[in-house]
Structure 1
Amino acid sequence: MDIYANADPVNSLDVRTETENSYTKRHQTPQHAVELVVFTDGWVCYQSSLYFISFEIKNWEESRTYCRNKGADLIIINNSEEQVSDFMLTLNYDSFWIGLNDRDVEDTWKWVDGSKMTSMFWRSSEPNGHTKENCALAYASGWIDHGCHKEFKWICEKNI
């Protein structure tokens, strides 16, 4: 087992404890501590879910297909704790596809599991795309609607 530690300019500490097929990553800032179990196949365990964080880009449908082929689906963000969680902030992603769209009925946003959107984290004046922007991208600052054919990173989620 190897342990790595390194401090960055904002007083955070990143400690990794490696095992054969995973490592534990603990991210510590003055306000928060996040502990993630990261598996060698790219999945991250956080609270009661597994997440796959892409490093490549795909359109919304290709991203969803990738997730489904792995027994997961695009991430569903159910509450403000998930939207701006320490986990999401730790990822330091600019934007990524989430499992939300209005492709079936315009302005009726649904999650990939068929449930209606109950918590909304749209940026100001979003969604604004009408029929040309039917898929949602997440930023730490909120969601935007975007053309589903554009390519971005994505996050898969599956419950454990």
Structure 2
Amino acid sequence: MSGSVNDSRDKSSIMDGEEKEERIVDIYITAEAVRDIKHKKQTEESETTTRPPEHTGGWIYYESSLYFFSSEKNNWTESRRYCTQRGADLFIINNIEEQYFVGNTSDSSTQHIWIGLYKVADTWKWVDNSTMTSERWGDKEPNGGNNANCVETSGSFWNDHDCSTNLKWICEKKILI
């Protein structure tokens, strides 16, 4: 009897060992992928014009985020809902390089595209609730008064716009490395 108990204990410890080995392999593969991404990021040039973005299933990888450029048009709220249902949100422009990325990657020079900036109680906020710290307003913008509480980009500048207008949009999904 005691031999069968030991046999089953030995088999379960072997299974645990196999599972541990699989997990170690998974961790190793994940670590390798992260190392490759970090190495690639460190060795790439910083100018967006010399480094084309990578496309991944309709999403474009750039600077630790994935971006989705819609081909449809919708109002600001529905555009944001589309993004959040996919684990993303409307695009937050953190610096001039990201603004250039949008201009170079999309048809924003000829189209108006929703971004994740909106007005709450006379304060412009990003969809992550951060306050706008830099701005790229177009000439005489923002100018829309009470009805223009959402922001779209056209080319390299921002315009306040009525949120109910149907425009294309950009989703952004941050990748934690």
Structures share fold, TM-score greater than 0.5:
yes
Task: Select 1:39's aligned residue among 51, 56, 59.
Answer: 56
RMSD between aligned residues: 1.5
Q: Which amino acid aligns with 2:155?
A: A
User: Aligned pair 1:99/2:119, yes or no?
Assistant: no
The structure in which a higher percent of residues are strand is 1
User: Aligned pair 1:153/2:144, yes or no?
Assistant: no
Equivalent positions of 1:103-142 (< 5 A) are 104-106=120-122, 108-142=123-157
Unaligned runs of 5+ in 2: 1-47
Unaligned runs of 5+ in 1: 1-30
CA contact (8 A) 2:149 2:163 kept: yes
TM-superposed CA distance for 1:39, in Å, is: 2.1
Aligned residue pairs: how many? Answer: 126
Q: Report the TM-score, using the length of structure 2 for normalisation.
A: 0.67
TM-superposed CA distance for 1:32, in Å, is: 3.0
Q: Using CA pairs below 8 Å that are at least 6 residues apart, which structure has the higher relative contact order?
A: 2
Residue 18 of structure 1 corresponds to which residue in structure 2?
none
Residue 74 of structure 1 corresponds to which residue in structure 2?
90
Q: Report the TM-score, using the length of structure 1 for normalisation.
A: 0.74
